[in-house]
Chain A
Amino acid sequence: MKVLEVRNMKKTFSLSRKQRAIEKTKETKKIAVNDLSFTAYPGEIYGLLGPNGAGKTTCLRAISTLIKPDEGDVFVDGFSVREDSYEVRKRIGFLTSELKLEDHFTPNYLFGYFARLHGLNEEETLLRRDELFGRFGIGDFQEVKVADLSTGMKQKASIAISLVHDPEFIIFDEPTNGLDILTAKSVTDYLVELKNAGKTVIVSTHILSVVEKICDRVGIIINGKMKWTDTMDHLHQSSETLEELFFRLFEESEGTL
């Protein structure tokens, strides 16, 4: 089974003088995630839930091979991000607000460019372009430069480009951030479609309603540690709602809200 497994991952960052001043600390290092473990399965959406600065983005960046874990590892379809990052990158589609499209180019040009980098031939590219541009209505603005697109249009183009190679593992970091309600719904609906198509989907978010609505499995990260992870079905069988669980864990971790 094509699973994505995060195993005892730890990641520490050095703090610059400026960052130390902002965070009001004398520590030169900050542990972003510590001993983090979870598994995401095909045909499921795994929701990584946590407050800002909890370590969600660090975790997803490590999965996408942009950064390397200091300890532990991540396995994507059995390939280690530490040892086989090239193989991992072939299998994942990664979208984060940090990943931007170049303003000068059109969605159509960038789609073709990334298709070539992912090794798609002309025929495969045309098929994927028809499918994804049609799904997100990108055809109307495919020849408009990214600089002239609205936030929603950019996000749609980014999603299409990140999925150009039809990856088995889809990792979206805060995919509905800054989007209007219609575009946000279009994105969450598409994530469900991907799940139904048997893909392994991981989304990070701090919006509880998004998790409630689309996720099959959830992990709650607070201060870089996995505080709780289980299926939504199990949660629904318990006496706590997701919101109650999240705030209880947060209070236990921080001592106060």
Chain B
Amino acid sequence: MKNMMTVFRKEFYRVMSDRRLLFTAVLLPGVAIYVIYSLMGNIIGGQVEEVETHEMIVYTENMSAEFADYLAGSEMNVKYEERDDLTFDEIEVMLLEGNMDLFMSFPSGFDERLVDYEDATELPNVDMFYNPSKQFSSNTYYQFQSQLTAFSQAVGLDRHGLDYYIFTINQADEDYEIFDEQKATGQGLASLLPMLIVMFLFSGAMSIGPDSIAGEKERGTIATLLVTPIKRSDIAIGKVMSLSLVSLMSATSSFIGIMLSLPKLMQGENINLAIYGVFEFVMLFTILLATVLVIVGLISIVSAYAKTIKEASMLILPFYFGAVILGVSSMFSDDTQSNLFLYLIPLYNTIQMLIGILTFEINTAAYLVTMISSLVYVSIFVYILNRMFQSEKIMFSK
């Protein structure tokens, strides 16, 4: 125990006393995330605002006077131009070049046909040409399509009265949106945070793990440690503990970075961590601690196997991508898994538990399975690491 703590203190001091390493491993992730996410939020916000304030350029042919009157009541920012001389090729070029957002072609005598509908043999058709690859054009199309639909319903109501409708939806003066505000906020966080947390735990451990073990092999300093009279398990546990603490610090920094930048990223959506109590935070911390131990254990084994830092970093990458894929899967899941066996899968269980904690749906049995299985995995990893430290082939391979 004493030697284990000696190794732990030295490894931890190694990071804490190296300003550059401390900055890159602990501070930089949080700062970088804050800056990047804030920037992303500003860019997204800017784009949304640009679309909302953009003056839509709509060219019309045989514009319906009735529809124009209908639109007069709307607050859309539109510049109309009536043109009946444009060829299809010209329309195509203008849409592709962004000089036109929408071309609406009404059949001639459209308004009259609306009135004399009983004599009609076919329905009048409105052609709308737009460029779905351009945001302004796409947005203009959806706004006008919506207006045309509403106009069509208004005309239908005029013609047939209430018979036009079979039924209505949500027309009473009621508050139809019934939801738990806390849970809704939690759901929002649960769609994003589990993936980011797992990614940051992994990248935090990746930033220092290879140097701590593969680096010591590469530089020849591990042999100096191995000739001292301490148990290999003390070295293994001391290193894993130290790496875990630094990884947790790195993940905390990332977490703070996310929380500070989320309001900008999510464009003003209400994000308030005060909805969570001490219980949720304790659960969150214990799950993160168990997860970081598993990740560090895995990275330590890969680092011990590798001959160089570079090789270790390359070997860890597939595991990192696997973790990211598991994280992404959480973005499309509203509920947690109820099958307890699935909580035996490392990292997947973390993501499921994080969703459960953030959405206030904590399954105690799943929590226990996650914690116990994680501790078993860590024990296995430390045992393997211990054996690897004893293997001359692994420690001194060239």
Interface residues of A (CB under 8 A from B): 14, 16, 19, 64-68, 86-87, 89-90, 92, 94, 96, 98-105, 109, 113-114, 116-119, 161
Q: A66 is contacted by which of B2, B7, B223, B229 (Cβ under 8 Å)? A: B223
Bound Cα distance from A222 to B226, whole angstroms: 28
- The reply to whether A86 and B229 contact each other, CB–CB distance below 8 Å, is yes
- The reply to whether A66 and B396 contact each other, CB–CB distance below 8 Å, is yes
Q: A117 is contacted by which of B6, B13, B17 (Cβ under 8 Å)? A: B6
Residue of A nearest to B397 (CB): A16
Known interface pairs A66-B392, A99-B220, A100-B219; A118-B17 also in contact (CB < 8 Å): no
Bound Cα distance from A66 to B394, whole angstroms: 12
Bound Cα distance from A65 to B17, whole angstroms: 32
- The reply to whether B221 and A102 contact each other, CB–CB distance below 8 Å, is yes
Q: Chain A residues with Cβ under 8 A from B2's Cβ?
A: 116
Residue of A nearest to B231 (CB): A86
Q: A118 is contacted by which of B221, B228, B396 (Cβ under 8 Å)? A: B228
- The reply to whether B219 and A117 contact each other, CB–CB distance below 8 Å, is no
- The reply to whether A89 and B14 contact each other, CB–CB distance below 8 Å, is no
Q: A114 is contacted by which of B13, B223, B228 (Cβ under 8 Å)? A: B228
B123 close to chain A: CB less than 8 A: no
- 20 CB contacts below 8 A, A to B, read A14-B393, A19-B398, A66-B223, A66-B226, A66-B395, A86-B231, A89-B229, A90-B229, A94-B227, A98-B223, A99-B223, A99-B224, A100-B219, A100-B224, A103-B219, A109-B13, A114-B224, A117-B3, A118-B229, A161-B224
- The reply to whether A89 and B396 contact each other, CB–CB distance below 8 Å, is no
Q: A92 is contacted by which of B3, B220, B227, B395 (Cβ under 8 Å)? A: B227
Residue of B nearest to A117 (CB): B228
- The reply to whether B224 and A117 contact each other, CB–CB distance below 8 Å, is no
- Most A CB within 10 A of own CB, among B224, B227, B231, B393: B227
* Besides the known contacts A96-B223, A104-B18, A118-B228, 20 further A-B residue pairs in the complex with CB atoms under 8 A apart: A86-B231, A89-B228, A94-B227, A98-B223, A99-B221, A100-B219, A100-B223, A100-B224, A101-B221, A102-B216, A102-B221, A104-B14, A109-B13, A113-B6, A116-B3, A116-B6, A117-B228, A117-B230, A118-B229, A161-B224
Q: Chain A interface secondary structure, helix, strand, loop or mixed? A: loop
- Cβ-closest 7 pairs across A and B: A100-B220, A89-B229, A90-B229, A67-B392, A117-B228, A99-B224, A116-B6
Interface residues of B (CB under 8 A from A): 2-3, 6-7, 10, 13-14, 17-18, 216, 219-221, 223-231, 392-393, 395-396, 398
Q: B17 is contacted by which of A19, A66, A104, A116 (Cβ under 8 Å)? A: A104
Q: Chain A residues with Cβ under 8 A from B227's Cβ?
A: 64-66, 89, 92, 94, 99
Q: Chain A residues with Cβ under 8 A from B231's Cβ?
A: 86
Bound Cα distance from A101 to B225, whole angstroms: 10
Q: Chain A residues with Cβ under 8 A from B393's Cβ?
A: 14
Q: Chain B residues with Cβ under 8 A from A14's Cβ?
A: 393
Residue of B nearest to A116 (CB): B6
- Most A CB within 10 A of own CB, among B6, B18, B220, B229: B229
- The reply to whether B392 and A68 contact each other, CB–CB distance below 8 Å, is yes
Bound Cα distance from A87 to B228, whole angstroms: 10
Q: Chain B residues with Cβ under 8 A from A105's Cβ?
A: 14
Bound Cα distance from A105 to B230, whole angstroms: 20
Residue of A nearest to B14 (CB): A104
Q: Chain A residues with Cβ under 8 A from B228's Cβ?
A: 89, 114, 117-118
Bound Cα distance from A67 to B260, whole angstroms: 52
Bound Cα distance from A238 to B3, whole angstroms: 52
Residue of A nearest to B3 (CB): A117
Bound Cα distance from A99 to B396, whole angstroms: 11
Residue of A nearest to B228 (CB): A117
Bound Cα distance from A41 to B166, whole angstroms: 108
Q: A101 is contacted by which of B14, B224, B230 (Cβ under 8 Å)? A: B224
Q: Chain B residues with Cβ under 8 A from A119's Cβ?
A: 229
Bound Cα distance from A250 to B388, whole angstroms: 38
Bound Cα distance from A143 to B103, whole angstroms: 77
Q: Chain B residues with Cβ under 8 A from A98's Cβ?
A: 220, 223
Bound Cα distance from A99 to B6, whole angstroms: 20
Residue of B nearest to A93 (CB): B227
Residue of B nearest to A89 (CB): B229
- The reply to whether B10 and A113 contact each other, CB–CB distance below 8 Å, is yes
